[in-house]
Structure 1
């Protein structure tokens, strides 16, 4: 019977070592990651509405 008690004591000690304390709290601000939704397109602003006005001037 003593052997069974030591086995359960060892198992209980292992459980307490693993699950005996709650994990550390995580702040809500640490759970948010901010990054742009899309990559900036360098050609996005290359179009000039008034380019046709100066293109044919000689």
Structure 2
């Protein structure tokens, strides 16, 4: 009899803890978008005339 009560109590506790699924999380909330490195305008600048003078002549 006592084992049945313990089993019933364990089942009640288990249902209280795991009885419902957690709230759904949308994919937009799981993703954070940001650039990997800060943008450096000096590095991305390209001047074809400077390139020609520096390396072509």
**TM-score, with normalisation over the residues of structure 2?**
0.62
What root-mean-square deviation, in Å, do the aligned CA atoms of Structure 1 and Structure 2 show? 2.3
5 Å matches for 1:26-37?
A: 26-37=25-36
The structure with more radius of gyration? 1
Tell me which residue corresponds to 1:22: 21
Q: Point out where structure 2 has 5 or more consecutive residues left out of the alignment.
A: 51-57
Size of the aligned set, in residue pairs, is: 49
Q: Point out where structure 1 has 5 or more consecutive residues left out of the alignment.
A: 50-58
